Amino acid sequence: MLKKAGIEDIPRNILLSGSAAKTAQIIDSSDDLINLSSLFKHIFEYVYERTIDRNITLKVASNPKELTCKGALESGITESVSQNNIKFWLGGINGGVWGKALDKEKDVNNTPKYNEIDKVAKDYISNSIKDFYKVLDEYTGKVRFETKFLIEQAAYTKFKDLREGDIEAFLERGLRAFHKQNERHIEETLFFYPLVGILNKLTYELAKI
């Protein structure tokens, strides 16, 4: 998203809030989230196609829900926050508009509607998710995954076994679950809809082991 929005520098610091903050503290018990930091670094280097000779510092507020609010209050912003540009990514790889970073207000006319999510668009989303899998596989192949995140290799193997199927079906379920109206312009990335379904399926399968 940062790269698509034209931001050229890989960030030095990342603040986690909400569910991301809670999840980070569950999967990484190391000091300063150093293990998760290495994953973030790997992803940024892959996306930006260059290496960096430093770590990315992750921070979590003591009360994650307050983080976003405090960040706005302490940033020195004097104008209305609502007037700042908000960009989002539809979730696809390439594919014209499906792979761009869109301004929620200025690019409304260029933003597809939910009824325009056809087979071609679904392929763009599916390819994007498969590319994400490739990033994860490269990372787990070069670190001791079990030691860093206390996740058994068998769990990741199970994830690899079931992740390719039903991507489009989970995308459709996500759209129905959030009651997206066909005539409305798409207002958020579609990338996470299939992933949520796949992770729920993984949870069910792991519970049977």
Entry pTM = 0.83
Domain around 161: 86-209
190 Ramachandran zone, left/alpha/beta (phi>0; psi -120 to 50) = alpha
Give the residue from 27, 59, 84 where a domain finishes. 84
69 in helix, strand or coil? helix
Residue 29's pLDDT is 85
Please name the residues in contact with 105: beta carbons below 8 A apart, sequence gap of 6 or more.
Answer: 85, 86
Q: What is the mean pLDDT of each run of 10 residues along the chain (209 residues)?
A: 88 90 87 92 95 93 60 52 75 88 92 93 94 94 87 89 89 84 90 92 87
69 and 106: one domain?
no
**Number of domains observed in the structure of the chain:** 2
Residue 78's pLDDT is 54
Give the residue from 51, 69, 84 where a domain finishes. 84
155 and 59: one domain?
no
Residue 12's pLDDT is 95
Structure tokens of 61?
């507020």
Give the residue from 37, 59, 84 where a domain finishes. 84
Residue 82's pLDDT is 54
Residue 79's pLDDT is 53
Nearest to 5 by CA among 83, 124, 102, 78: 102
